[in-house]
Chains A and B, each alone.
Chain A
Amino acid sequence: MTKDTMQIVREQDVVPFRNRVRELATKIGMSLVNQTKLITAASELVRNMLKYASGGKITLEVISKTGQSGIRLTFADNGPGIENIPQAMQDGFSTGRSLGLGLPGAKRLVNEFDIKSVVGQGTTVTVTHWKNGR
């Protein structure tokens, strides 16, 4: 189905990216609450990508599974990678000076969440949110 990629290199790229996610979510008929959850999660992840890896590439896909459609976003960067993923997934843990809600919060907001990271090579986070939020 629809597949799109966007390069994120600076802060100003975030708003067009969020708009693109909203466009796709509206197109498949996702409810407002689910749209808001997905875009907020995406916003957290794109911020991490900019902050820790100076940007990266996002793939946006409309997918379907047993008749239900959803949106899958893949955030891939070539940054320093995450040494300790379980620690990074804890609420309140941050190596920057933030609230430490980005990764765990994003995980709570979407239906499926996957993170892979190789130190020195980069991090890939994939999130999927279904149309009805389940």
Chain B
Amino acid sequence: MDRIPILKMGPFLLVTIQVDLYDRLALSLENDLINMVSKTGARGVLIDISAVNIVDSFMGRILGNIASMSRIMDAETVVVGMQPAVAITLVELGLTLQGVHTALNVEKGMDLLYDKSDLLTDEQNNQEDTEEPDDYND
């Protein structure tokens, strides 16, 4: 059976969905992700859907489930790269993806995850060694 690969990147998990999801594939992703969060103690999950053309109510529910389950396990979820046509369609469909953080692209999504999980990026860590910490964390 097909599987969507989950990559570990520092404290976070990264998933890039490159194929059209059918239901069972989406369900196994949900399952695999939660297991990975538990196994690795990841603090965040980043899901890139920039190659996804269709998000229907089922897929939306899966994204919501992943976010809720991860949160219970102390990990935040950010969905990035949504195509404009998909966003327009989701709102008309009536799906607001409550509880799911979103960002425009992977880079902004990573920043958001660092922010949400109160972790410092490498860059900020290096800065802290050399200069006074600014009010970033206030």
Contacts and interface: CB of A to CB of B under 8 A. Distances in A.
Q: For chain A, what secondary structure do more than half of its interface residues adopt (helix, strand, loop), or is it mixed? A: helix
Interface in B13-47: 20, 22-24
B22 to A, nearest CB: 5
A40 B95 CA distance: 12
Interface size class of A (residues with CB under 8 A): 20 to 34
Interface string B85-103: 1101100111100000000
A109 B54 contact: no
B55 A40 contact: yes
Given A33-B89, A36-B86, A36-B88, A108 B94 contact: yes
B62 to A, nearest CB: 11
Contacts of B83: 36
B85 A44 contact: no
B68 to A, nearest CB: 13
A109 B93 contact: yes
Contacts of A101: 57, 93-95
A120 B23 CA distance: 27
A105 B55 CA distance: 12
Nearest to A45: B56
Interface size class of B (residues with CB under 8 A): 20 to 34
B56 A11 contact: no
Contacts of A37: 85, 88-89, 92
A40 B54 contact: yes
A12 B95 contact: no
Interface string A40-72: 100110010000000000000000000000000
Given A14-B22, A40-B54, 17 more contacts: A11-B22, A19-B20, A32-B85, A36-B53, A36-B88, A37-B88, A37-B89, A40-B55, A40-B56, A98-B57, A98-B61, A99-B60, A99-B95, A105-B57, A105-B93, A105-B94, A109-B89
Interface of A: 11-12, 14-15, 18-19, 22, 32-33, 35-37, 39-40, 43-44, 47, 91, 98-99, 101-102, 104-106, 108-109
